[in-house]
Amino acid sequence: MIVCSCNIITKHEIEEVVRGFLEQDRWQLITVGMVYHAMRKRGKCCGCFPNAIGIIVDFGEKWHRENNTPQAQILSFVERMRLEHQRTESLKNLAKNRKNGLAA
């Protein structure tokens, strides 16, 4: 499945990069920027970022389950990733509003 049509990035490619990061450090917070940088890509229209973040979160949770991470630790990790996603989305919206003259 193509996730990013600007860069022609597939779900499988994102999952493979996330797998590599998790194998290096199972508790690191993985961002879309890290994933795209590892693939030597950059966000163009950035419309794919929400889907890419969802793939990162879902695959991270799946990877931890497959590697027998205790449930409580998985939930904590996934929650941290979701909170970071919400934080970055809020900052993105704030910047967009400022650019459009909607916020001071």
Quote the pTM value: 0.74
Residue at 55: amino acid letter: I
| 103 confidence band (pLDDT: 50, 70, 90) | low
Task: Give the separation between CA 54 and CA 40, rounded to whole angstroms.
Answer: 20
CB 32 within 8 A of CB 56: yes
CB 36 within 8 A of CB 56: no
Over residues 46-75, the pLDDT tens digits come to 889 889 988 998 999 899 889 888 877 777
